[in-house]
Amino acid sequence: MSSVDTFIIFELDGAAYAIRSSHVQHIEMLEHITPVPNAAAAVDGVVFSRGQVIPAINLRTRFGLPAQSYTSRTRLIFIQVQNRTVALIVDSAREFQRIPSDSIQPIQKTLVGIDGNYVEGSATVKNRSVLIIDVGAVLTIEEITPPQLPAESTLSSS
């Protein structure tokens, strides 16, 4: 008998993805993002939620998908990664789904369009293919922490 986990299903560029609900703290509509200078490319800025300032990671950028303006369907999925909270910006997210572990298939190494290291597996949910995201592989602390500015001495010319 296989175990059954719950997942949050979300969309990016018309494709369905899933994150284990055990990683998800909450989901919010996107209202305002404050840009942060010198942030990593996938960090659109920070958001204020439940008394905290939280980095907002654009999964479209992270996955190399075309940029898209935010819409009324854009959502922030707040997750815990390496003891830090981050918000994932996705095109839409509103579905919880139970997926039996034995129905999750490993991803082929030849997967095109997304680094296979980010994907834990795939499953068929309601007659559509869903990629199960490995949030630890997608987001590392180095990528969500703004880089240090170079020392002033390295900027001076001789």
Q: How confident is residue 118, by pLDDT bands cut at 50, 70 and 90?
A: confident
Would you state the pLDDT for residue 153? 40
Summarised one tens digit per residue, pLDDT across range 42-101 is 899 999 999 999 999 999 998 889 999 999 999 999 998 778 899 999 999 988 999 988
For the domain 4-154, what is the CATH code?
2.40.50.180
What 3 state SS string does the chain have?
Answer: CCCEEEEEEEEECCEEEEEEHHHEEEEEECCCCECCCCCCCCEEEEEEECCEEEEEEEHHHHCCCCCCCCCCCCEEEEEEECCEEEEEEECEEEEEEEEEHHHCECCCCCCCCCCHHHEEEEEEECCEEEEEECHHHHCCHHHHCCCCCCCHHHCCCC
Global confidence as pTM: 0.82
Tell me what the mean pLDDT of segment 118-128 comes to. Answer: 87
Q: Rounded CA gap, 115 and 107, in Å?
A: 10
Q: Rounded CA gap, 103 and 84, in Å?
A: 30
Check if the beta carbon of residue 39 is closer than 8 Å to that of residue 56: no
Q: Rounded CA gap, 95 and 135, in Å?
A: 18
Summarised one tens digit per residue, pLDDT across range 23-43 is 999 999 999 999 999 888 889
Q: Rounded CA gap, 122 and 5, in Å?
A: 14
Q: Rounded CA gap, 82 and 88, in Å?
A: 15
Structure tokens at 64: 């190399």
User: Domain extents for the chain?
Assistant: 4-154
Q: How confident is residue 146, by pLDDT bands cut at 50, 70 and 90?
A: very low
Structure tokens at 67: 């940029």
